[in-house]
Amino acid sequence: MPDNKSTWDWAVLRGDVWQQYGKAVVAALHYLPSSFDCPPCNIAEKLTSGYKAWEFLLYLYGLGLGLLYGILPERFFLNYCKLVLGIRLMNQHRITEANVREAHLVLLSFAHEFETIYCQCKQTRIHFVCPCMHSLVHLPCKVLRIGPPICSSQWTLEQTIGNLGKEIKQHSNLFANLSQRRIRRTCVNALMAIIPDIEGNQKSGGDIPQGSKDLQDRYVLLCTRDKHLERLQECKVYALERFLSMSNMDSVSVCRWARLRILTSQICYSAWKEWQKPLEKHCTACNVKVCHLFLLAVFFMPIITTPLDTF
Amino acid sequence: MIPIGPQLQALYRSPDSASHMYYLHDKMCCTIADFDQTGGLNEYSDVLHGTDLIGACQDGCINENGIVLMFSIDRAQLYTKKLSSCWIYIWILLNLSPTECYKKNRVFIGGFIPGPNNPKNLDSFLFPGLQHLVGLQKEGLQIWDVALQHKVNSKVFLALITTDGPGMKHITGMVGYHGKHGCCLYCGMQGCRENHGKHYFLVLLKPLDYNVSGCTHDDIDVTNLPIPLHRRYHKNMCIVISLSNNSQYRTCRLETGISKPSIFSGLDTSSTLGLPHSAGSDIMHLAALNLTDLMISL
């Protein structure tokens, strides 16, 4: 007896709902931090043609949770949440032992439940259980054996293929060309390893962009900044007073900076400049996490703390 | 094929990069000390935190001057609209810190197998590169270390082999993910197939009213999955090799899940983790593939 698709109660993304859904994915674009590389495009249009692994990742384990809530029937949604939790834990660069345990439980439970609610022990549906479902179950144990999966993933190779592919200059004879490119890359890398100074000069200038201010510890303030001192609003003066444990600062004028590069090389933007642009033109990067608190960066300014006795 | 040996030697030629090569050893000493104290680790953030590499170090397979490599191979489609696939493999040097070893200038391109047709015998293309590696493993790699100002004899250890699902089948010599023993880690779990289907699927729960010959095992307890074993893999592989005729081979292939000996089995056992342990899991393809499956059923 063939499987009838109308009995698939989880198949909710059809017709109009699917189109709407694709639009929602695109609309979410402007709320993603700019450090997230390219944001997912319309999944309804591009699913079968060149949707990238990174987009899938971002979409399924990032956006999907919010977008599918309310659309997917509850028990399927809960099952999906388990997958998201498991994969998010496994994709971390640092995985604690507690994480491994949790991911192990949650992924096992996901795999089991997946078969119960989707396949329902029907012979015609066993093909839902694709090979990757099984690999998923092994994932947490592998962390104990060979470290985080991200360390042994294919990203590096794909990246190498990508940047070698871009170097192809002779499209009529591409395999020979690629082969030569590869040899040249190897020679250059070896040379750079032997004489690191070859690339040195270029790098020292490029590390800190012009007009920026180095704050040490790999924090760098980046342009744009105020040319003249700007007077702060009262509420901000109050915040500053509390931060510096001072009182009665009447009027304060500061030079605001728009962007800050932090030690992870990510660049935070500030709301001051970002909000001047229309939403379509930027990706949101002014939400920052400081000591487990999520904050909105309004602007940046350097504060030089001078020991009191010098006054 | 670009030999890996001289590329490694070049890294020791400047004091800066030579000192980076000892990252693994330094960290490993700390990790082993931690491990001995508490019997486990609290946090995993690098390959060296895995018990497999810790074990290899404790057994003396990786010494102070040891070089630890990861092999990674995949098929690449160079143009989206033109038949232009080829295979590329790279070496990743795990001696370096995770912030260094995945960078463009520290990734060693091993070999390149031009297309556009798929290689009929992938092993034959991997052979020159691996033969060179075996040479290094057997005789050691002589390196002039600028930082220490003396000559060191390094042993090259191949820790991990990573590729995507279909590629794994060529590397490990197993039947592939649609076989009865479809797990690329060789965990021994058996799959089920549809009545007239040829593909097996690794389902945990036995379907209702199901009576396909050879697949009538009961539900599998997810909390108690078999552990992948090198010994079993090796034993079964020996059986498969020893068979003399075709029909025996077919039955045996079905039962053991091994279709041929892997080229990596030819490596010295003390300088690799051994299959199937060294088979890495590829979270990138896993996450992406998994998703498509779910999406399409949605």
Sign of CA dihedral B219, B221, B224, B229: positive
What is the Cα A103 distance to its own chain's centre?
Answer: 20
Q: In angstroms, rounded to a whole number, what is the distance separating the alpha carbons of residues B76 and B64?
A: 36
Put simply, the chain A residues between 121 and 140 with a CB less than 8 A from any chain B CB are 121-139
**Whole-number pLDDT of residue A46:** 59
A268-277, B11-20, B170-179: range with highest mean pLDDT: B11-20
Buried b (16+ CB within 10 A) or exposed e, B174-211: bbbbbbbbbbbbbbbbbbbbbeeeebbbbbbbbbeebe
Record: contact A116-B205, CB cut-off 8 A = yes
Residue A113 CB-half CA count within 13 A: 15
Query: Which chain A residue lies closest to B144 (C-alpha atoms)?
Result: A194
* Arithmetic mean of pLDDT, A29-39: 62
Of A70-84, A139-153, A181-195, B181-195, the one with minimum mean pLDDT is B181-195
- Kindly state whether A263 is in contact with chain B, defined as any CB-CB distance less than 8 angstroms: no
Query: Which chain B residue lies closest to A199 (C-alpha atoms)?
Result: B105
Q: In angstroms, rounded to a whole number, what is the distance separating the alpha carbons of residues B188 and B224?
A: 12
Q: What's the pLDDT tens digit per position in B44-60? A: 888 888 888 888 888 88
Record: contact A179-B114, CB cut-off 8 A = yes
CB-CB contact of B202 with B182 (8 Å):
yes
Over 70: is that where the pLDDT of A308 sits?
A: no
Residue B138: name the closest of B159, B160, B154 by CA. Answer: B154
Per domain, the residue ranges of chain B are: 4-166, 174-261
Over 50: is that where the pLDDT of A205 sits?
A: no
**Whole-number pLDDT of residue B122:** 83
Question: Quick check: ipTM above 0.85?
Answer: no
* Arithmetic mean of pLDDT, A218-245: 78
Query: Which chain B residue lies closest to A79 (C-alpha atoms)?
Result: B294
- Kindly state whether A50 is in contact with chain B, defined as any CB-CB distance less than 8 angstroms: yes
- C-alpha distances (whole Å) from B245 to each of B81, B241, B242, B250, B258 are 44, 11, 10, 9, 16
Q: Would you say how long chain A is, in residues?
A: 311
Sign of CA dihedral A125, A128, A131, A137: negative
Over 70: is that where the pLDDT of B294 sits?
A: no
Residue A52: name the closest of A68, A38, A70 by CA. Answer: A38
Strands, DSSP E only, in chain B?
A: 43-44, 67-77, 85-93, 107-113, 141-145, 150-154, 156-162, 192-193, 200-201
**Whole-number pLDDT of residue A304:** 63
Over 60: is that where the pLDDT of A230 sits?
A: yes
Over 80: is that where the pLDDT of A26 sits?
A: no
Over 70: is that where the pLDDT of A221 sits?
A: yes
Q: What's the pLDDT tens digit per position in A72-122? A: 778 888 888 888 888 888 888 888 888 888 888 888 888 888 878 777 777
Q: What's the pLDDT tens digit per position in B249-259? A: 888 887 777 77
Over 70: is that where the pLDDT of A307 sits?
A: no
Over 60: is that where the pLDDT of A188 sits?
A: yes
Record: contact A147-B210, CB cut-off 8 A = no
Put simply, the chain A residues between 93 and 112 with a CB less than 8 A from any chain B CB are 93-97, 100, 108, 111-112
Contacts of B202 in chain A (CB under 8 A): 129, 131, 133-134
Of all residues in chain A, the percent with pLDDT exceeding 90 is 0
Over 50: is that where the pLDDT of B90 sits?
A: yes
Of all residues in chain B, the percent with pLDDT exceeding 90 is 0
Q: In angstroms, rounded to a whole number, what is the distance separating the alpha carbons of residues B82 and B272?
A: 38
**Whole-number pLDDT of residue A311:** 36
Average pLDDT of chain A is 74
Q: In angstroms, rounded to a whole number, what is the distance separating the alpha carbons of residues A119 and A105?
A: 21
Neighbours of B226 (CB within 10 A): 13
Q: For residue A310, name the pLDDT band (cuts at 50, 70, 90).
A: very low
Locate all alpha helices (DSSP H) within B105-175, ordered by sequence: 122-139, 165-172
- Kindly state whether A91 is in contact with chain B, defined as any CB-CB distance less than 8 angstroms: yes
- Reduce the DSSP state of residue B8 to 3 states and report it: helix
Place of tokens 């609209």: B81
Query: Which chain A residue lies closest to B298 (C-alpha atoms)?
Result: A11
A30 min Cα distance to partner chain B (Å): 23
Q: What's the pLDDT tens digit per position in A43-70? A: 655 555 555 666 767 777 777 777 777 7
Q: For residue B29, name the pLDDT band (cuts at 50, 70, 90).
A: confident
**Whole-number pLDDT of residue B226:** 65
Which positions ≥6 away from A260 have C-beta within 8 Å? A219, A220, A221, A222, A267, A268, A270, A297, A300
Record: contact A13-B298, CB cut-off 8 A = yes
Contacts of A127 in chain B (CB under 8 A): 194, 197, 199, 201
Of all residues in chain B, the percent with pLDDT exceeding 70 is 80
Average pLDDT of chain B is 78
Q: For residue B260, name the pLDDT band (cuts at 50, 70, 90).
A: confident
**Whole-number pLDDT of residue A1:** 47
Strand partners, B272: B158
Record: contact A126-B92, CB cut-off 8 A = no
Place of tokens 């600028």: B146
Query: Which chain A residue lies closest to B178 (C-alpha atoms)?
Result: A131
Q: What's the pLDDT tens digit per position in B262-283? A: 888 778 777 777 776 666 656 6
Q: Which of B16, B222, B228 shows the shortest C-beta gap to A108? A: B222
Q: Which of B50, B184, B199 shows the shortest C-beta gap to A144? A: B50
